[in-house]
Amino acid sequence: MTIDSILVILQKVIDISLVWVIVYFILKNIRNNVKMILLFKGVAIILIVKVLSDVLNLTTIGLLLEYVIMWGPLALVIIFQPEIRNMLEHLGRKQILGRHKVLTLDEREKLVYEVINAVDYLRKSRIGALIVIERDISLNEYIERSKPIYGDISSELLISIFFPRNPLHDGGVIIEGNKITSAGAVFPISINSKISKKLGTRHRAAIGISEESDAIAIVVSEETGKISIAIGGNLNYNLSLDDARMILVEELKPKREVLLDDEFEDEEGDNNESA
């Protein structure tokens, strides 16, 4: 085997590997995005019908589908421009630039303490609230369209923002790192048909932003005072205060720390076995 043939094989392996990485990334990011899932289902149906029309020699439908396939990609780029932009932002940020600020243990504890204290007051007073904590995927798109605050996290500030007579109480609060970045943020409403019709706009907005990012969205119901947390397109409904605290503590742990904990447990297990 010559050097040239080895280089050709290596080139093909790299080419195929890159294609699989792209496919894996796309599938991973559309998993919790309802709009993108519906898009791929529609494309799959069109391709299946096209194959059937060719097999059964259905000339008219086949001709129409040829035009759809020809001009479809351009139409999809125009219609799904926001989703494509979010996916490209995800590619540029996640695990490459990472979170803009990695919180220390003390900062994470303070964040959870202040948020939970605010949530406790809000639920007892039946004041509606939506608090979104940014993680690896940037929420800059929503920050730019909301009211800048950039203040230190405190339960008093969160409570005052959602107080009924405050002009910003209807929107959401965005937390970046250990700062309250903005208030009055408007998030996309989830179009998932499986969501209960009893849930209001805040809950649907929480699910919507959790579908489009890896953010943690905390909701306090104005009608019932119930606490809910949306993560990855899933809503944890009617949580106790302790449950909400535990979810925040677990979800805010940096990935590196989780790996170290796992490694420590593995080492501890090995030591016990050797003993």
CATH number, domain containing residue 121: 3.40.1700.10
For the chain, give the percent of residues with pLDDT over 90: 36
Q: Across the chain, what does the average pLDDT equal?
A: 81
pTM of the predicted structure, to 2 decimals = 0.63
Task: Give the end of a domain, one of 26, 58, 93.
Answer: 93
Q: What is the DSSP letter of 189?
A: P
> CA-to-CA distance for 188 and 193, rounded, in angstroms?
15
When pLDDT is averaged across residues 34-57 and rounded to a whole number, the result is 77
51 lies in the same domain as 158:
no
174 lies in the same domain as 218:
yes
Range of the domain at 78: 3-93
Asked if residue 270 belongs to a domain, the reply is: no
- The SS3 assignment for 249 reads helix
> Is the CB of residue 214 less than 8 Å from the CB of residue 128?
no
Residue 244 has pLDDT above 70, yes or no: yes
> CA-to-CA distance for 206 and 228, rounded, in angstroms?
9
Residue 270 has pLDDT above 60, yes or no: no
Asked if residue 273 belongs to a domain, the reply is: no
> CA-to-CA distance for 51 and 62, rounded, in angstroms?
9
Asked if residue 263 belongs to a domain, the reply is: no
- Amino acid code (one letter) for 121: Y
Asked if residue 272 belongs to a domain, the reply is: no
Asked if residue 88 belongs to a domain, the reply is: yes
Q: How far apart are the first and last CA of the chain?
A: 53
159 lies in the same domain as 203:
yes
Residue 84 φ then ψ, to 5°:
-65, -40
169 lies in the same domain as 205:
yes
> Is the CB of residue 194 less than 8 Å from the CB of residue 200?
no
> CA-to-CA distance for 268 and 275, rounded, in angstroms?
11
245 lies in the same domain as 110:
yes
Q: Tokens in use for 226?
A: 């119930």
- Name the range with the highest mean pLDDT among 17-21, 97-101, 212-216: 212-216
80 lies in the same domain as 111:
no
- Look at residue 80 in the predicted model and tell me its pLDDT: 64
119 lies in the same domain as 231:
yes
* Cα 166-205-111 angle, rounded to 5 deg: 65
Task: Give the end of a domain, one of 71, 93, 115.
Answer: 93
Asked if residue 67 belongs to a domain, the reply is: yes
Q: How many Cα atoms are found within 13 Å in the side-chain-facing hemisphere of 127?
A: 22
Using N-to-C axis directions, what is the helix angle for 81-93 and 34-55, rounded to 10°? 120
Task: Give the end of a domain, one of 93, 124, 156.
Answer: 93
85 lies in the same domain as 122:
no
Residue 246 has pLDDT above 50, yes or no: yes
Number of structural domains, the chain? 2
> Is the CB of residue 147 less than 8 Å from the CB of residue 174?
no
When pLDDT is averaged across residues 114-129 and rounded to a whole number, the result is 95
Residue 132 φ then ψ, to 5°:
-115, 125
62 lies in the same domain as 117:
no
Q: How many Cα atoms are found within 13 Å in the side-chain-facing hemisphere of 176?
A: 17
Tokens 């996916």, located at residue: 87
- Look at residue 236 in the predicted model and tell me its pLDDT: 94
Q: Tokens in use for 167?
A: 């002009």
156 lies in the same domain as 222:
yes
Residue 149 φ then ψ, to 5°:
-125, -55
For the chain, give the percent of residues with pLDDT over 70: 78
Q: Tokens in use for 161?
A: 């923002």
Asked if residue 261 belongs to a domain, the reply is: no
- By DSSP bridging, strand 147-152 and strand 129-133 are unpaired
88 lies in the same domain as 113:
no
240 lies in the same domain as 122:
yes
Asked if residue 266 belongs to a domain, the reply is: no
